[in-house]
Amino acid sequence: MSGPAILLIVLGVVLGPAYYGYCEYVSGEELQSVTVTERSDRWTLPDGTIQRFRKGLAYRPVELTLRPELNRLRLGLTFEFPAEGESQPVEYLATLLDQDYPVIEQPLLVNPTGRVDKTVRTFEVQAAGNYLFLLEEVGPPRPGASVTLHLRGEIEQQYRPLMWFGHGLLLMGLGLLAYSLARGVPRRG
């Protein structure tokens, strides 16, 4: 009885969690990787305007050339803090602008110890163009981290019915295995 249960568990893992992990973390290709270390309370943007940051300091803005053919896109950040970092989390505001319109605006809370990877968001663009990524440190200035922006493109879209079917197979397999193990245990009496 455990043979079919094991088969259901294996199929469930492959079609459920493994498929999800592939789509979210493995699929796509690295399009651009930029490391920034400079921080300031104002920056001159590519169009010549000056962006001021009243809440705190911001890293040098990064210009990204995006096209709909690259959809789905994902922004990720790698923070490199000094080894003796503070224990208080640092709050950042990550913003992706299409000219003056924010496409993404997401707060991030980062523990400032060593290397920390954060995913900003997976998104799609409707029009080709140059987009601007801003990373602002919210709150009082702290010792800065080196930040690497990672842009991945052509990320696989999950086929949700398949993923949920896989999770269902996994649960059925676990239930069948538990049932067969419970039937095989001799009763004390």
Q: How many CA atoms lie within 13 A of 106 on its CB side?
A: 16
The Cα–Cα gap between 7 and 173 comes to: 7
pLDDT, average across residues 36-48: 84
Side-chain-side CA neighbours of 189 within 13 Å: the count stands at: 3
Is residue 76 left, alpha or beta, with left meaning phi > 0 and alpha meaning psi from -120 to 50? beta
CA atoms within 13 A on the CB side of 40: 11
Query: What is the pLDDT at residue 168?
Result: 93
* Distance of alpha carbon 186 from the chain centroid: 48
More confident residue, 122 or 135: 135
When pLDDT is cut at 50, 70 and 90, the band that residue 188 belongs to is low
Lowest mean pLDDT across 45-54, 62-71, 118-127, 165-174: 45-54
Q: What is the pLDDT of residues 154-185, one digit of tens each?
A: 888 888 899 899 999 999 999 988 888 888 76
Evaluate whether 92 touches 120 at the Cβ level (below 8 Å). no
How many angstroms separate the CA atoms of 57 and 37, rounded? 12
pLDDT in tens, 74-100: 899 999 887 665 678 888 889 998 877
Residues 6+ apart with CB under 8 A from 165: 15, 16
